[in-house]
Amino acid sequence: MAKLTEEEARAREEARAAKRRAQLEKHAVPCPHCQKSVLDHMTRCPYCGGALVPKGYAPMDEEKKRKVRNVCYIAGFAIAIVIVVLILVLR
């Protein structure tokens, strides 16, 4: 790879920084509480602490969350029993 001059390297770094800024600006939305710029995936404003509704993300409702948790507990318990039984049978 050809060695870059300091100026070329700086220009590349600036282009990269501008690209990063542009990507972030695409996701910047004003906070409905304090009007400061926040990112659209945030659930809470880092400036005023107000609740935000993240774009493209809906939090799971409590009933569904409870059901998923119960299924995981039951599955985990069943796996633990199978492991204990296998240890007792195979030794």
Nearer residue to Zn ion within complex by CB, 49 or 76: 49
Count the neighbouring beta carbons within 10 Å of the beta carbon of residue 54. 14
Residues facing residue 39 across a β-bridge? 28
Angle 49-32-54 from CA coordinates, rounded to 5° = 75
Number of residues that bind Zn ion (CB under 5 A): 7
CB of 45 to Zn ion, least distance (A): 3
Write each residue from 21 to 50 as x if it is in contact with Zn ion (CB under 5 A), else as -, in one continuous string. ----------x-xx----------x-xx-x
Q: Which is nearer to Zn ion, 34 or 81 (CB)?
A: 34
